[in-house]
Amino acid sequence: MSKQVLVIHGGAGTIRTQDMTAEMESAYLKGLEEALLAGYSLLEKGSSAVDAVLAATKSLEDNILFNAGRGSVFAADGAQEMDASIMDGSTLKAGAVSAVRNIRNPVELAYMIMAKSQHVMLNGKGAAEFASLNNIQTESDEYFYSQFRYEQWKQMQESGEMALDHNVVLRGNKKFGTVGAVALDKFGNIAAATSTGGMTNKQFGRVGDSPIIGAGTYANNKTCAISCTGHGEPFIRAVTAYDVSCLMEYKGLSLQEAMDMVVYEKLPKIEGEGGMIGVDALGNAAMVFNSEGMYRGVRNEEKMETAIYK
Ligand code: ASP
């Protein structure tokens, strides 16, 4: 029997402590705790790592504070387009969606693609049709709307910029993006999931690292399960999540050593700001970031911890 563990993130960011009110901080930490509970209670009942990362990620998608599902950022055309993926380390099966609109839980659609289709990634009309055939819940634009994201988008539109959500400063608050989870279940299987609204004022149709297997998400029982957050473009170019797995498989590095090397040494060379969470099949867990903070949490038999800053 393996020692089950669940690790989650709610995005990496340069959030300054002085911009965070006690109220906001406790709301974010509560959101992280709820997600840990949603996923870990399933692990305790003997559910799979896939089920646990799905439940934890859905919980964060449903929380308007996080940039995924409800509360996602706005693209350049004013719509909310979301990316998500999930991977099962025991079968190496994966599912992903990119630039989908109006899907309540993009990670659930990614899961359905993994479970019920011959494909790994769907987008556009095909993703929408697959969602409706599989009774995936959709919501109106109003459901995804949040005043803060709208103001953030307006600010970006005026300046003509595109911004990583966690680099945007609005009313003194720096914000963050993306959610994800990795888990080890009692059967020794690991899994990873990631979901995001991406970057404020991004070109519509832009796809970040989050739905790309090997970049934002990867899981393999032989090595590790990884979910990334940060500036998507460098993360894609660095094949970030798979690089951690390769360092473990081919160089014999531990999970922590491999994540440290990628996040502190390799990513900064290509301006890859952000971080990642990981687990391995032995029950080791790690959370590493080169940004000022990363919303994160871990739960196993001994402890439940949530944190934002270094
Ligand atoms: N990686 C995400 C993207 O580029 C953003 C983030 O993690 O904040 O879409």
Q: What amino acid positions are annotated as catalytic residues?
A: 178
Tell me the average pLDDT across 238-249. Answer: 98
For residue 248, give the nearest of 42, 89, 121, 54 by alpha carbon: 89
Beta carbon of 195 within 6 Å of any ligand 1 atom: no
**Separation of CA 2 and ligand 1 centre (Å):** 32
Phi, psi (rounded to 5 degrees) for 254: -75, 170
**pLDDT tens for each residue of 18-72:** 778 889 899 999 999 999 999 999 999 999 999 999 999 999 999 999 999 999 9
Bigger pLDDT: 108 vs 174: 108
Contact call for residues 232 and 208 (beta carbons, < 8 A): yes
Query: Residue 296 and residue 105: Cα distance in Å, rounded?
Result: 20
Bigger pLDDT: 74 vs 241: 241
Q: What is the DSSP letter of 66?
A: S
- Residue 172 has a CB neighbour count (10 Å cut-off) of 9
Give burial (CB, 10 Å; 0-12/13-18/19+) of 269: exposed
Chain position carrying tokens 């409706």: 132
Beta carbon of 241 within 6 Å of any ligand 1 atom: no
Tell me the average pLDDT across 155-161. Answer: 74
- The residue ranges of every structural domain in the chain are 5-309
pLDDT of residue 19: 77
Q: What is the DSSP letter of 263?
A: I
Q: What is the mean pLDDT of the chain?
A: 92
Beta carbon of 291 within 6 Å of any ligand 1 atom: no
Q: How far apart are the first and last CA of the chain?
A: 33
Residue 81: pLDDT over 90: yes
Chain position carrying tokens 């709301």: 27
Q: Any residues with CB less than 8 A from the CB of 290 and at least 6 apart, and which?
A: 263, 264, 267, 268, 272, 273, 274, 275
Judged by average pLDDT, the poorest of 94-103, 197-206, 266-275 is: 197-206
Beta strands in the chain (DSSP E): 5-13, 82-88, 93-100, 121-123, 169-170, 173-174, 179-184, 190-196, 217-219, 225-230, 274-279, 285-289, 293-300, 304-309
Strand-strand pairing, 121-123 and 93-100:
parallel
Residue 14: pLDDT over 60: no
**pLDDT tens for each residue of 252-271:** 999 999 999 999 999 999 99
* Single pTM value for the model: 0.95
What distances in angstroms separate CA 70 from CA 143, 179, 289, one per listed residue?
6, 12, 25
Beta carbon of 85 within 6 Å of any ligand 1 atom: no
CATH label, 5-309, candidates 3.90.1300.10, 3.40.50.300, 3.60.20.30, 3.40.710.10? 3.60.20.30
Query: Residue 49 and residue 54: Cα distance in Å, rounded?
Result: 8
**Separation of CA 70 and ligand 1 centre (Å):** 16
Strand-strand pairing, 121-123 and 179-184:
unpaired
Phi, psi (rounded to 5 degrees) for 215: -95, -70
Residue 161: pLDDT over 90: no
**pLDDT tens for each residue of 273-293:** 999 999 999 999 999 999 989
**Separation of CA 302 and ligand 1 centre (Å):** 31
